[in-house]
Amino acid sequence: MLRLVTCCTVLLLFCGTSFIAAAQDHATAPRVITFNEAVQVALENNTDIRQARNAIDQSTSQLTQRRGDFLPNLNLNVNGSQRFGTTFDQNVGDFVSERTFGMGLGVSTSINAFDGFAKMARLRSAQFNVQGSELDLERTRQDVVFSVVSQYLDLVLSQENLAIQEENLEAQRQQLEQTEEFVRVGTQPRSDLFQQEAQVANAELQVLQAERQFQINEVQLVRTLQLDPFQEYEFEIMSLDEDDLRLEEYELQALLQESFDRRPDLRSQQQSIAAAEQGVREARSGYYPSLNVNASSSGNYTDRLQSSFGDQVFDQRRTESIGFNLSIPIFDRLQTRNQVQQARVQRDNARITLEGNRQNVAIQVREAYLDYGNAQKRLDVTAVQERAAERALEATQERYNVGSATLVELTQAQADFVSAASDRVQARYELVFQQRLIDYYVGVLNPSQPLFD
């Protein structure tokens, strides 16, 4: 019986330990994030996007306020008083002390019937500001997506470079084994063995540096996505094959025109100009007269009378009034004139800013167009370079095996092949990056678009 209890206890302890270990492994398992998930996380967590949304809320609130300027106000006024004092009572024929209670109830309203079109100008300006804020949010989203695309491509490129360096390290180790055999049988000098050992050590160093760069790119992507720094993450790396490449034919003039029409930041600046135009119109309203209309109805109650509260307030002591106030400006110490000048300066500055932004956009699109053409040419050149370096390496390896080539020649051929392979990988990703760069500068970058399509 004791042995059975002991066995059960050991079994329970083993199961409990296994469960705890499994739970710990599950808790520390890295979170796998795909590119599309990374984009969505960035769009949700980015502080610039959140501030842009707040700017929309603020401008929308201002628009609601400007709409309310066209409505009349309505006020309910209630007042009360209690008086103490001495008065002469004719019935008594002497001064008597008395205390009276009074109360007033009234409703008043007023509306501005005309203010020189200032209210209309403020309303339209607020509408333009809302539209501009929405365009700013759209451009901010594009900024964030492009940043994620750039860093994700850097991460993929560093992973591909790490794979190339690891393959090179394996090739150098195999070459070391072959060199050791050649030295053992006496077909190659011992100095080749030392040189090859140095090449293996250098390949190991290149792998370490490639791993470090890959880890740095991961950390930068985590920072851009504003993820929890205490959690482990694993980003899904997609390989980019030749079949994944899709060449585009761009026409520079069409790209420039599309960028002027589609760029959210340019369109937002146009809304700012329109709002500034309304600012000039609002400032000019000071030259026009203003008309306000008001009306009120009130009633008073006092306990000195025998009538009831309702009879006094709504009948006996009720007063009503309606009136207007017309103000015609004659001389305002040049304040309106100065305000109009300042509003015109702000409008002109907004136009100048748009002109400068259009020039910058044109330069960006033109440079991206030229870089994309160079990326296409580089893709073709690196393909030829990689094939040539591979054939040269094979030929040098055969010559070295029969003793007609030195280790220095073989090492150089291997280095050329690794460099050509790395250039080929970079050329493929540079082509994809330049396509996304054109989309970004033109203003058509879609946050939902996959990295490779």
The beta strands (E) that lie in 303-439 are given as: 318-327
Most confident of 140-154, 239-253, 254-268, 306-320: 254-268
Lowest-pLDDT range of 12-16, 71-75, 274-278: 12-16
- pLDDT exceeding 70 applies to what percent of the chain? 89
pLDDT band at 449 (very low <50, low <70, confident <90, very high): low
Whether the model pTM is above 0.85? no
Weakest mean pLDDT among 50-54, 159-163, 198-202 = 159-163
* Phi-psi category of residue 228: left, alpha or beta, with phi > 0 → left and psi -120 to 50 → alpha: beta
Lowest mean pLDDT among 95-104, 248-257, 264-273: 95-104
The pLDDT value given to residue 130: 97
pLDDT digit string, tens, across residues 58-74: 999 999 999 999 999 99
pLDDT at residue 24 above 90? no
Do residues 140 and 49 touch, judged by C-beta distance below 8 A? Answer: yes
Q: Nearest-5° angle of CA 30, CA 155, CA 229?
A: 40
* 437, pLDDT greater than 60: yes
CA distances from 336 to 280, 341, 343, 400 (A): 11, 9, 10, 91
Q: Note the pLDDT of residue 205.
A: 96
- Using only the alpha carbons of the chain, give its radius of gyration: 41
* Per-residue model confidence as pLDDT tens digits over 356-378: 999 999 999 999 999 999 999 99
What is the pLDDT averaged over residues 348-353?
97
In CATH terms, 36-87+100-154+176-189+242-288+299-442 corresponds, of 2.60.40.3080, 1.20.1600.10, 1.10.443.10, 3.30.70.360, to 1.20.1600.10
Q: From residue 225, give the alpha-carbon distance in Å to each of 29, 36, 75, 148.
A: 19, 12, 51, 8
Residue-wise pLDDT for 134-189, tens only, equals 999 999 999 999 999 899 889 988 988 998 999 999 989 999 998 898 888 888 88
Confidence (pLDDT) at 204 = 96
Other Cβ atoms within 10 Å of 391 Cβ, number:
12
73 token code pair: 């106000």
Query: pLDDT tens digits for 381-436?
Result: 999 999 999 999 999 999 988 888 888 888 899 989 999 998 998 898 889 889 98
What whole-number distance in Å separates Cα of residue 193 and Cα of residue 170? 16
pLDDT score for 4: 40
pLDDT tier, 259 (very low <50, low <70, confident <90, very high otherwise): very high
Handedness of CA 246, 250, 256, 260 (dihedral sign): negative
pLDDT value at residue 141? 93
